[in-house]
Amino acid sequence: MKLPLDIFDSVFALLSEDPEGPDVKTLKACNLVSFSLSKTCEPHLFACVYLPDIYDPRCRMSIFHFSEILRAKPHVARYVRRLGLLALDATYWTSNQKYLCKVVQDVLIQLRYDNIRWFKIYAARRIPFIALPGAITDIMKLPTLEVVHIHSISQMHGSIFSSPRNRPWVLDIGDSSVVPDMSSSSKEHEPRTPSPNRNLHQLIMRYNCSGSGLASTLLTPQNQGPFLDISHLKVLQLGDRSDAIYERTWNLAHTIALSCARNLTTLKMSSFPRSLDGVTDFYDIFKGLSNTLETLVMWHPRADVVDRLLGVPFTFTSLTEIQLDLFPEIRLKEADFWEKVDLALCDEGRYPLLEHVPVEIQWYRGQNRWQDHSDVVDRIESIKDSLLPMTKSRGIRSGVSLKVTNRPS
């Protein structure tokens, strides 16, 4: 009986493009069933490749193993669409930098660059960009690239982000830093008009980024124009959680919000001032976004920040969802807090299109920092179903859930 290869091809595509990662075990098993099935499966098996410098059970092969595969089957290079390079052992990488760079460089050179849409470079501990192979710069400048994840890479040159791109581009960066290019060549310092194709669609800045030089180097005009064009930005996520640097985060949010207020639809923030007194930019950010913002996500803000933010004196004409992720606080068990939130959310004049308000309170069992708040958790557990009654009466889907998990050791 002839195998329905077109059906298998569709199934394999789903397995390889799973948002949580490719189902490698199933793909490898199908790849061994028969020659005809292998020919259909192989492109999907190598569509997503994560290459660590050392053995890791989460990855099916190391950089060295994939290098051997390319020597035996050079045709698989054209199948790679998602590529991840993982420096899991910074000491090993540093002590073997020359050898590792050569192996990675050889692998990258063999890949069909015009097929790569998604690229991730991750280090378990910060390593300088100069310690990485030069071919990474070529990948970063690909016009076909759609998503870039960078974690724990320091001293990146801003110019690696500057290539025009034909598609909306997602940049997810954490614990990394950017420095201005040091080249003084006259060609590099000629005025440059930013290309309209360089369209940054989503910017995710995780911890240790707000003071990393990323904003000053990438987002503000240089003598050649800004490296990244954020005028079309739709999704902004800022994830610095340190109280010591919240001012930088808010300043960055203020700058970006004013630059792309006409297009920004989603704002996710997890860094908030301890008090809003004297923070005038706080209101400016949301007033500038009041006509475009559709989704607002706030991770771990203090209770007083929540009720004051929701009570801002202007209308969010497009906002349909507000997500709140709270830590236990004494104020959360007070009815006064929930009444203020409920009163703000039920205001149809302020939130005319609001449809969904999920509220989650995180509690880490056994975490000493929150032991004193066990009464808060018990109180919320007993009243959570009766909270936000006026909001619910508007037909808004709303509820308070308590997430109790064990703190990882």
Structure tokens at 7: 């059906």
pLDDT of residue 192: 45
**Amino acid (1-letter code) at residue 401:** S
Q: Which residue has the tokens 């199934």?
A: 11
Decide: 106 and 67 in contact? Cβ < 8 Å.
yes
The pLDDT, as a whole number, for residue 187 is 42
Q: What is the pLDDT of residue 179?
A: 79
The angle subtended at Cα 299 by Cα 294 and Cα 302, nearest 5°, is 115
175: left (phi over 0), alpha (psi -120 to 50) or beta: left
The pLDDT value given to residue 194: 45
The ranges assigned to domains in the chain are 1-45, 47-154
Q: What is the distance, to the nearest Å, from the Cα of residue 31 to the centroid of all Cα atoms in its chain? A: 33
With beta carbons less than 8 A apart as the criterion, state whether 377 and 333 touch. no
pLDDT of residue 59: 64
Q: What is the dihedral of CA 385, 388, 391, 393, to 10 degrees?
A: 50
Q: What stretches of 268-373 show up as alpha helix (H) in DSSP?
A: 280-288, 303-310, 335-345
Contact present, 200 and 230 (Cβ < 8 Å):
yes
Beta bridge partners of 151: 122, 174
The residue with tokens 């606080």 is 329
CB atoms within 10 A of CB 277: 8
User: What radius of gyration, in Å, describes the C-alpha atoms of the chain?
Assistant: 24
Q: What phi, psi does 343 have (nearest 5°)?
A: -65, -40
Tokens in use for 30? 């199908």
Give 377's contacts (C-beta < 8 A, 6+ positions apart).
328, 361, 363, 402, 404
pLDDT of residue 323: 93
Q: Retrieve residue 285's tokens.
A: 């950010």
Cβ proximity of 200 and 233 under 8 Å: yes
For residue 185, what pLDDT is reported?
41
Q: How far apart are CA 344 and CA 305, in angstroms?
A: 13
Q: What is the reported pLDDT for 293?
A: 92
Please report the pLDDT score of residue 393 as a whole number: 92
Tally of residues, the chain: 409
First to last CA, the chain: 53
Question: Within a 13 Å sphere around the CA of 184, how many CA atoms are in the beta-carbon half?
Answer: 0
Q: Which helix (H) or strand (E) holds 287?
A: helix 280-288
CA-wise closest residue to 167 among 193, 200, 135? 200
- Rounded to whole angstroms, how far apart are CA atoms 88 and 125? 8
Bridge partner list, 297: 268, 323
Beta bridge partners of 153: 127
- pTM, to two decimals: 0.80
- DSSP β-bridge partners for residue 237: 204, 268
Show pLDDT as tens, one digit a residue, over the chain (409 residues).
455 667 666 776 766 666 555 666 676 677 667 667 777 778 887 888 888 877 665 666 788 888 888 888 898 888 888 898 888 887 888 788 888 888 888 888 888 777 888 999 998 888 888 888 888 888 888 878 889 999 989 888 877 877 665 566 898 988 888 877 654 343 444 444 444 345 788 988 887 665 555 666 666 555 555 667 777 889 988 876 555 555 666 666 667 766 766 788 999 887 665 555 555 566 777 888 889 999 999 887 777 778 777 878 889 999 999 999 887 777 787 778 889 899 999 999 999 999 999 998 877 665 555 555 677 778 888 888 888 999 999 999 988 888 876 654 4
- Position 16 scores a pLDDT of 67
DSSP 11-58: HHHHHHT-TT---HHHHHHHHTT-HHHHHHHHHHHTSEEEEESS--TT
